[in-house]
Copies of this chain bind each other. A is one copy, B any other.
């Protein structure tokens, strides 16, 4: 079995592990699976051959022999189900972990991405700070609810699972703005995820794409 994923040739985050290939890299590392990476440019991602694999023109695409998947939630689930120990075996615990996978992507992530997007699309408008206040509040409400749920637990529901993997990476996107920092248990939760050896291998691999590119540019 050969696993290939796509990733940004030039990630906008400059190798800080915020691009979505990080989710799949981390899951693959947790499962102990080797993979190859196909770097794609922004131009390529909008062209027909790529869109046939990923109709929304995003990274990552995941290929495993004849199977092509996209959507990080689905890819991480596929890896967990077929290759890894990222979901509990007991049916009820497994269903609850899947609940938290969807919660990460459909409840917690949207207000975080919305803030990010607004920064790019309307960040220069005179009313941006008014909009930001509203969006920050929406994100804060979700994080407060998540923080209340987590309490002093280590992970969302029992042992570390695919849901924690997704949630930690969703939360990393809002680090440093003061919003996440109001919830010490969420900060500790993110740090707990980042300290896993599989996370660190995945992080180093995606960072290397950026540093290789910089040193290539320096050499001209």
**Interface band, chain A:** 35 or more
Q: Is the CB of B107 within 8 A of A106?
A: no
- Interface status of A205 (Cβ within 8 A of chain B): no
Interface of A is mostly: helix
CA distance A150 to B87 in the complex (A): 32
Q: Is the CB of B142 within 8 A of A131?
A: no
Binds B, one of A119-127, A180-188, A191-199, A207-215: A119-127
Closest to A58 in B: B107
Instruction: Enumerate the 5 nearest inter-chain pairs by beta-carbon distance, A residue then B residue, closest first.
Output: A71-B102, A73-B102, A55-B149, A74-B99, A127-B127
Please list 12 pairs of residues, one from A and one from B, whose beta carbons are closer than 8 Å in the complex, sorted by A's number: A51-B145, A55-B149, A58-B107, A67-B92, A69-B95, A71-B100, A73-B102, A77-B98, A105-B105, A105-B106, A122-B130, A131-B131
